[in-house]
A and B are shown apart, each in its own frame.
Chain A
């Protein structure tokens, strides 16, 4: 029936939407990420933003300038070879990094502070490493001596 066909398609669309939502949330929650902004490239309007301290002025500034930069970069890339096109843009500054995914119907930019070190994350992995062997020579001796007594036993 009509609905029978519609239902799986709707489900598939819903699934895709769910994965996209989840990915967006993960990106926004990643370490160091200040937030992300989605801009409509045609009318320079901010479609959505998450994070960024909810500072609308700052967001508008980012949107406007990054959009201009994206079109400049795209012009450079295509000028060199019109068959080429811009796919991604990473702008790293002293303080943070702006990663931009420019597409036809949206421009998605993420601002991340990349100075975060992984120490905290790794510290969560509680492992006790082996301490440094004090005398490596001992081991060799051991091997020599105990090789004799090595016996196969269950």
Chain B
């Protein structure tokens, strides 16, 4: 047959050809016009790709040629598919095509198949109906293998019912292997073909699980409402089917297109910032201040909130410039650039913080050296862990190596020498330890070097501060330098005083710190003037000074003293001078004085004067050298005169003395009440002696003398009632104990100096300071427990007083 010219696209085409051939044979054999539908049953996994089943009996009618395995022969007597072209529209063409298909190329075949399968696979009932209708009219489809060809396309969800049709050829199913004639083939081809389609496995394209919500959740209400709404909609839809129509749309997937761009790579660097608590704090404060400051411009704010030092330096500009001009002027004709650079370099020196920083720095530097002594001053006897032991480095173990005989000899000698030295040093140290007086340091500086120290006074409030007055005694024409100085020294810096006040043309002869106003310093001059200084300020000018018209003294003020007048009565300043007046100064309005007393000469029996008559007296007044107020009865005071008499006076009597104590042969330089007992006082004078008195006895109780030298000063120890010290003009310092009036307990001799003033420090530790005529004030510590304030019962003032009085009595008794 011409139809045999089929190029086989798929293997089935051959089969189809042969199938069609066999069909036509069968159709011819049957000779009936009965259409038979062949059921093409595609079985899974069967070797034969298609099977032809009889629709009625379900017998297998697969043509033998199709089967690899033997099956039942198909019935013959089927009309060829091509003949029964009374099918529906879609199949008429198909039939035509299928008729021509046998001999044609597979394209038509495939198209037929495709169209058929497509029609079938559209899955609509119409197609099926059409097919069925066709079958009813004994249509046949030649697309028996269409299903098989399109099996790859996998049309989903298509459930094809097996098309049943007439099959009157059941009984003719006999395997007829004889070749069909053309007519048979045609008949077979035209015979209705039954195609049975079965369900494919289900492909799930969309799987949407139910969302379940708990009844008591918030959304339950809305969800239930929505559900009910939907149900209603469904019902409505079913009820009013006419209102709803279904439409479908197809969305287009836009084709994608790739587009490339290029951009420059971002350079990245890593940066880290560490933030500390204080940075945050500073930033916050700066922001707050910027908010607050609404007046000044941003520049000022920056200055204010920024470094204070800078701002303040900026304020001092005109001063700075003025001074820097002066400084820069030293360069001479240096260009402006040089001045500017120099001023910039020196700008740090004008910082206000510098002064304070330098002061502290100096103290620290001093402390590094003098710490041991400073601690001893405070009576803290601790082994300073920071002070390096210089001996550690010196004594090292010499490396032992073989030496020659000479070398060994030398080494031996060297060792012996070292040994001797070490012993000597240790002996020295022991001797030093054994001494009861130990020099701590010396207050002195080049400014006052060589000046005569006349007086010292401790500050009542801060006992580290010592005021020292410098001035020449008398009118030494050789001493050109007539200036006086007052220096305030601090324990913390023995190198340089904290304050230096310079007094022109007058030496200082007496100083005293006030108790009520601790920064007030009274200075008595050698020319009789009295000045008051405030040591808080550094200037040279006193805050108050007595004037000649104001009644100042006409002679050297030998002693000035602040006296507490008792509670709520304030303090008064009392001075005694060579003009014989004891005056009381008040500072309420300037410096006003009131004469407490005028010292009248009293015949000194010691000097053999029985009466005043007969001698040409220079003056009826005698100069007063010292004054001391009774610690308990403030109205009583002692006055020592140049004549050697001591007077006990009262502030209520300005004309007469209460008592007169005669005993000294020379001017009484100092008289001092005992700090423990208000009955006992000491006096020292130029007659080489120190005498102790009791106020009710007109004769001295005890006399102390060590050397034939004028005793310039005497001072009680503030911690032990029986100890006192004296200094002489030949540089000797004696520490006496009342219990032994013959010999001082200990002494110290200063070479080549005359000692002028002595005072005990009233702090816890027994330290005393001695001023000499070379401008130095030496601070000496009294070592030894006996000088410390005794503890316990013995330390009470009452006990001390009692002890003192006991000794006095004992001395009297003897």
Contacts and interface: CB of A to CB of B under 8 A. Distances in A.
A5 B32 CA distance: 148
A61 interface: no
Contact of A152 (B360, B439, B687, B700): B700
Most A CB atoms within 10 A — which of B307, B357, B699, B700? B357
Interface in A43-102: 47-48, 75, 78-79, 82-83, 88, 90, 92, 97, 99, 101
Nearest to B347: A105
A118 interface: yes
Contact of A115 (B323, B370, B373, B388): B388
Contacts of A104: 307-310, 351, 353
Given A101-B357, A104-B307, A79 B388 contact: no
A104 B311 CA distance: 11
Given A48-B345, A99-B364, A32 B353 contact: no
Contact of A26 (B327, B362, B439, B689): B362
Interface stretch (B17-25, B42-50, B277-285): B277-285
Contacts of B369: 30-32, 114, 116, 118
A30 B740 contact: no
Nearest to B703: A152
B355 A19 contact: yes
Contact of A103 (B357, B740, B749, B751): B357
Contacts of A38: 348
Interface string B599-620: 0000000100000000000000
Contacts of B435: 129-130, 132
Most B CB atoms within 10 A — which of A88, A92, A101? A101
A150 interface: yes
A106 B434 contact: no
Which range holds the interface residue count of chain A?
35 or more
Given A27-B365, A130-B748, A20 B276 contact: no
Nearest to B388: A115
A97 B365 CA distance: 9
B811 A106 contact: no
A41 to B, nearest CB: 10
Contacts of A16: 355
Interface in A93-149: 97, 99, 101, 103-106, 108, 110, 112, 114-118, 121-122, 124-130, 132, 139, 142-143, 146-149
B358 A126 contact: no
Contacts of B360: 88, 101
A115 B355 CA distance: 27
Interface string A1-44: 00000100110111011011011101100111100001010000
Contacts of A47: 345, 348
A150 B663 contact: no
Given A6-B322, A79-B277, A146-B742, A101 B366 contact: no
B43 to A, nearest CB: 87
Contacts of A132: 431, 434-435
Given A9-B322, A106-B354, A146-B742, 17 more contacts: A13-B323, A14-B326, A20-B349, A22-B496, A30-B365, A30-B366, A30-B495, A32-B365, A78-B281, A82-B277, A103-B357, A105-B309, A108-B361, A114-B369, A143-B739, A147-B741, A150-B811
Closest 7 CB pairs of A and B: A78-B278, A82-B281, A101-B357, A106-B348, A104-B307, A104-B309, A114-B368
Interface of A: 6, 9-10, 12-14, 16-17, 19-20, 22-24, 26-27, 30-33, 38, 40, 47-48, 75, 78-79, 82-83, 88, 90, 92, 97, 99, 101, 103-106, 108, 110, 112, 114-118, 121-122, 124-130, 132, 139, 142-143, 146-150, 152-154
26 contacts: A9-B318, A9-B319, A9-B322, A19-B538, A20-B354, A23-B359, A23-B362, A30-B369, A32-B365, A40-B348, A79-B276, A82-B282, A101-B361, A103-B351, A105-B309, A105-B313, A108-B354, A110-B361, A114-B386, A122-B441, A126-B752, A143-B742, A146-B742, A150-B814, A152-B700, A152-B702
